[in-house]
Structure 1
Amino acid sequence: MDKKKITAACATMAALAALCVPGSAAFAADGTLTLNAGDGSTLAGHSFTVYKLANYTDVVKDGANVKSVSAKHPDQTTGDWIAAALKANGVNYSVDAGQNAAEQLLRLKTDTDTLRKVAGTLQATAAASKVTAVKTNQTSTTGSLNLTLPEGYYLVVDAQGIPILVSTTIGGATRMSNGQTLGSTQIKANVTKIDKKIKSVDGTWKDSAAATNGETRDFKATFTVPNKLAVDTITLEDHMTGITYIDGSFHATVGGTDITNQFGAIGKDKITAADGKTQTDGTGFKTTSLQSLVDTYQGKQVTVTYQGKVVNASKANQGLNQILVTSNWLPNVIPPDVPTPGPGTDETPVPTYDVNLKKISAADGSRTIQGAKFKIHNDSLNQWYTWDSASNQWTFGTDESKATEFSTNAQGVINFTRLGAGTYTVKETQVPAGYFSFVKPSFTIKVTDDGRVTITGKDQPGLTGTVTNADANASTPTAVVKNIDNITQLPQTGAETMGIMIVGAFAIILVATATGWGAYRIRHENMGDGSIAA
């Protein structure tokens, strides 16, 4: 045979032999690996680097599942890296007995302190070991990341999380016979994120909503239950300033199923007002979940709802409530070179706003009127407002007679303080002496959650100055309202004004007639003609 042909044939045989070597990466089929953030969460902000730790050999299937596999490191550098991590954590194996580092790694039980230590050591020593990552800077803006990788066992390092040891699918199988999942895992985020909302007066959930001092509001917070291989339990606490948690209002659900019983006792959480603040200390809550919450619902989104009463918020000091969710980590989950992560937090500011009323004379706009009386009604809630000056809170009811009647001061002003979002009617209940008592203006105040205030006349609208979207954060919007002492001062604004003018004229005629009739009667009685028949 030609010497060149012999050489070529030998090279071909060698290549084929290499493909058949157990554990050779050249013959490894592709598998898949899906990283999940969990329901309602996203991988945005995470960046993953993937290192291969083991090739699979001698795969034994059990129907659709994998019964067993053998493993070997893909190269000597990786083998040395794994061996050093095992040794550092007291894991021994016998090379003489045919054992290798990768195979020993796979023998470690999944949910063990030792395996968590090894994962942390592998992450901490990856750079120094000179191993080459299979994939780097893998990102996703959704809740999952799908990777195609040669079948094997991998270390996944998360720039925003805890290292994961995980297997790809094997021959298309997604499960081991013992129930262990293949090809997918929930990430071990170093911070469990939480999103909190407050229900606005219009019934929608918002990041911030204005509430009246004395009002009770609904709150909602959502978070994704962490990976049970990383976290034992979670602790929820809400630090409230100017707001008090309503006992018994805490409820938790997953997909509409009540899981409130997965949390322990709801304790009170008292905090001290910050320096320079004058509001009463808030009273929040604190509770820790059972371990069964994490074991049963990992990756699921939990929604907690509860109520808080605004007890001492003002324009200068808005109500605040910050919720924290703390992951109570299993031992040695956090690698030795990684600081213990802090809690996930979110807060919902609860502002409150002031509106002034200023009473002036229609005849002389520079003259303010003292003693005009008004009541305020929340049209959004159909409630009359009663002010308690001792507690600086409003109380609410449907009985107008129990509502507070405010009176304009010497400057003609009433301050309606600490109001939440909504639509209000301010109604004049008593006109000062010297002004037409049958002309009682009322006006509407609309307050938005962000403090935009609109004021428009309602009854006798021409007697109330219009204010359009004033910024109650910057200053106090003022409703300027006029009283009249002459029927001609009524603005000519339509049928209502004409009706009042007719009623007013009729009243004047009645008064004049009654006065004349009285004089006539007295004159006749004085003339001796006898009493006039009534």
Structure 2
Amino acid sequence: MPRKVKNMEHKGIARKAVTAGLAAAMALSMAFTPAVALAAPGATGQITVTADSGDNASTKYSAYQIFAGDVVDKDGSKTVANIAWANDSVRTAVVNAIKAEDSSYADPTDASASAQQAAEFINAHITGTNNTTILDNASFGNKLADAVDGIADKTTVTPGTAASLPEGYYLIVTADVNGKVDQNGTSPIFAIVGGSAVTVKEKTTVPTVEKQIKDDDAANFGKAASSELGKKLDYQITGTVASNLATYNTYYYAFKDTPSAGLDIDQSTIHVTIDGTEVDPSSYTVAATPGSLSVEFQDLKAAKNTKGAAISVNATSKVVLTYQASLNANSVIASQDNPNEVHVEYSNNPNTDQHGFTKPDKVKDYTYKLGLVKKDKQNQSRALSGAKFTLQVKNADNTSGDNGKYVQADGSLGNTAHEFTTGTDGTISVDHIDAGTYTVKETVAPKGYEPVSDFDVTITDNTKDMSTADDALTLSAASTGSQDVKTSADANKGTVTIMVSDVKNNGLPLTGQSGLMVTVLVGGAIVAASATAMAKRKKSARE
């Protein structure tokens, strides 16, 4: 990113924060040596700057000496006597900052008097600070730091390592962090070095981002979900800001989302809130292309609500982006998953245009493949073609409103039953289905076979139990309602297989059946006639 230029020098800071309040740290003695114009070599002191968070342990700091002097520890604080400018460049930068604050300020010609007067001005205009104070962007302390940062004369300080510096009064800022991941600069640190060793802590935190997904009517958001083709799921992205937000004049903030090719984001469902307050869309811009979504604030601090009123954004604010997305025909099956990753790009250098990036966070949406194999029960090597089946949702994995709908040819759900027909290999295959319970009905059996009874198949996964997007997928399947059905599942392939066995019809053949009936009927008539004749003979004999 482009950076501002001060005194023909590039600025190299990021966040700035007060560690030792000027009112205390600038307990400057009014005594000085008039003959001293600029600093002369003298005693040294030690200072250690500790990093607060993120990857800032690898960040470097720049220490600018503003005043030289004799430092003494007294009553728990430090005083500086015999004040002198550290160099001509810093004198010019500080005096210009003072004149910008007070146009009536006149810089004495004498260098020693100039240093003493400047110290008095600084002490009077930076008050009420302590070792936790975050300087506001409009404060004189921040303006002073902005003026000094960028001059050539500086010393590099490594976090956690004691640096030996000539005694005096210093400004410490973060060196260049432009384009860095999980790094953030500190607000201005003003400290007196000399006497006993000094340890100061940077005043900043690194913004973070968390992405979550919800299985429709699930109680909570999580790191993974499963769905069928076209099913819209809720996504939620929560970002934090830097603790020294107040130091920034403007604060660039953008969600950079990278959905996989198998996901379609519905832009009409995009909403942004700050601390629960809906942000008016005019406060940000949305740019979407296949595989990319950007929701960008040029200045988060200028965000307005839907009524046009300013939203108060502070160091603890949370920015939440929500939208819905669904799987498309490019979505991949199961363990390959369909990831959706996001990071936040944000201002990470007060008074410059530098940007940094959070570490990314992601979620996954899984979808599965259902295969049905139709075989002869007595001869499992014989595949049966021409069987027709419907798949109806009995108990949806996520939304009860889907119960009763039918699986369509592409895996989506519809209100009209779709019949799947087994091919010459006896199989049916449908991609992009969700976990849940389905009722399978054989509407037409192969010729010469009896259809199986309706049965249920339940597909179960562990997506709701995943604590991270990198957790391993588990997948299982079970059936009820028919002894002629067996199920299996493969989490690595994301497939569920149903084995359905049909039984042949066992009715007697029709060929010769009518002849058999005639024989039976004729035989019956003969028996009946014989019985009648015998009865007549018995009657005649009695007579």
- Which letter does structure 1 place at the counterpart of 2:493? A
TM superposition shift of 1:367: 0.7
1:83 aligns to 2:90 (yes or no):
yes
- Which letter does structure 2 place at the counterpart of 1:481? V
What's 1:127 paired with? 155
Please report the TM-score for the alignment, with normalisation by the length of structure 1. Answer: 0.59
Q: Is the 8 A contact 1:354 1:419 kept in 2?
A: yes
Distance 1:23 1:188, change over 3 A: farther
What are the residue-to-residue correspondences of 1:378-397 with 2, within 5 Å?
378=393, 379=395, 380=397, 381-382=399-400, 383=402, 384-386=404-406, 392=410, 394-397=412-415
What's 1:235 paired with? 254
Residue from 303, 307, 312 that aligns with 2:329: 312
What's 1:178 paired with? none
- Structure 1 SS opposite 2:450: coil
Residue from 485, 499, 510 that aligns with 1:480: 499
What's 2:389 paired with? 374
Q: What is the rounded CA distance, in whole Å, between the counterparts of 1:74 and 1:369 in structure 2?
A: 100
Per mean C-alpha deviation after superposition, the further-off stretch among 288-297 and 228-237 is 288-297
- Which letter does structure 1 place at the counterpart of 2:385? Q
Aligned-residue identity in percent: 18
Please report the TM-score for the alignment, with normalisation by the length of structure 2. Answer: 0.58
Distance 1:186 1:250, change over 3 A: farther
Q: Is the 8 A contact 2:273 2:279 kept in 1?
A: no
TM superposition shift of 1:49: 7.8
Q: Is the 8 A contact 1:154 1:166 kept in 2?
A: yes
TM superposition shift of 1:80: 4.3
Q: What is the rounded CA distance, in whole Å, between the counterparts of 2:83 and 2:372 in structure 1?
A: 83
1:246 aligns to 2:253 (yes or no):
no
Deviations 1:288-343 (A, max 9, x none): 26533486333322233221222334326854434343325787436xxxx75346
TM superposition shift of 1:421: 4.1
Residue from 453, 471, 475 that aligns with 1:453: 475
Q: Is the 8 A contact 2:348 2:355 kept in 1?
A: no
Q: What is the rounded CA distance, in whole Å, between the counterparts of 1:479 and 1:116 in structure 2?
A: 71
Q: Is the 8 A contact 1:312 1:393 kept in 2?
A: no
1:291 aligns to 2:311 (yes or no):
no
- Structure 2 SS opposite 1:161: coil
1:355 aligns to 2:370 (yes or no):
yes
Q: What is the rounded CA distance, in whole Å, between the counterparts of 2:294 and 2:224 in structure 1?
A: 20
Q: What is the rounded CA distance, in whole Å, between the counterparts of 2:229 and 2:146 in structure 1?
A: 52
1:260 aligns to 2:288 (yes or no):
no
What are the residue-to-residue correspondences of 1:304-453 with 2, within 5 Å?
304-315=321-332, 319-328=338-347, 332-333=351-352, 340-342=355-357, 345-378=360-393, 379=395, 380=397, 381-382=399-400, 383=402, 384-386=404-406, 392=410, 394-397=412-415, 402-437=416-451, 439-449=453-463, 451-453=473-475
Q: What is the rounded CA distance, in whole Å, between the counterparts of 1:347 and 1:307 in structure 2?
A: 15
Deviations 1:107-160 (A, max 9, x none): 5895258545346437x85426xxx89x8359xxxxxxxxxxxxx986354883
Distance 1:376 1:393, change over 3 A: closer
What's 2:46 paired with? none
Deviations 1:481-520 (A, max 9, x none): 2112269xxxxxxxxxxxxxxxxxxxx89xx9xx99xx79
Deviations 1:341-397 (A, max 9, x none): 3466433343422121111111100011112222223422343455666xx461345
Deviations 1:79-114 (A, max 9, x none): 449826836987775445454465566658952585
TM superposition shift of 1:214: 0.5
Distance 1:20 1:420, change over 3 A: closer
What's 1:187 paired with? 204
- Structure 2 SS opposite 1:162: coil
Q: For structure 2, which runs of at least 5 residues remain unmatched after alignment?
A: 1-26, 33-48, 68-77, 100-106, 127-134, 163-168, 178-182, 192-199, 304-310, 464-471, 526-543
1:111 aligns to 2:137 (yes or no):
yes
TM superposition shift of 1:414: 1.0
Q: Is the 8 A contact 2:241 2:318 kept in 1?
A: yes
Q: For structure 1, which runs of at least 5 residues remain unmatched after alignment?
A: 1-18, 25-32, 37-42, 56-70, 139-151, 169-182, 272-280, 488-507, 528-534
Distance 1:324 1:21, change over 3 A: closer
- Structure 2 SS opposite 1:299: coil
Distance 1:221 1:345, change over 3 A: same
Residue from 151, 154, 162 that aligns with 2:185: 162
Q: What is the rounded CA distance, in whole Å, between the counterparts of 2:521 and 2:145 in structure 1?
A: 113
Q: Is the 8 A contact 1:119 1:163 kept in 2?
A: no
Q: Is the 8 A contact 2:263 2:331 kept in 1?
A: no
Which structure ranks higher in relative contact order (CA pairs < 8 Å, sequence separation ≥ 6)? 2
Q: What is the rounded CA distance, in whole Å, between the counterparts of 1:184 and 1:249 in structure 2?
A: 42
Q: What is the rounded CA distance, in whole Å, between the counterparts of 2:434 and 2:81 in structure 1?
A: 65
- Structure 1 SS opposite 2:247: coil
Q: What is the rounded CA distance, in whole Å, between the counterparts of 2:386 and 2:88 in structure 1?
A: 87
Deviations 1:167-221 (A, max 9, x none): 69xxxxxxxxxxxxxx9995164xx431111113654433333322111000011
Number of residue pairs matched? 401
1:196 aligns to 2:205 (yes or no):
no
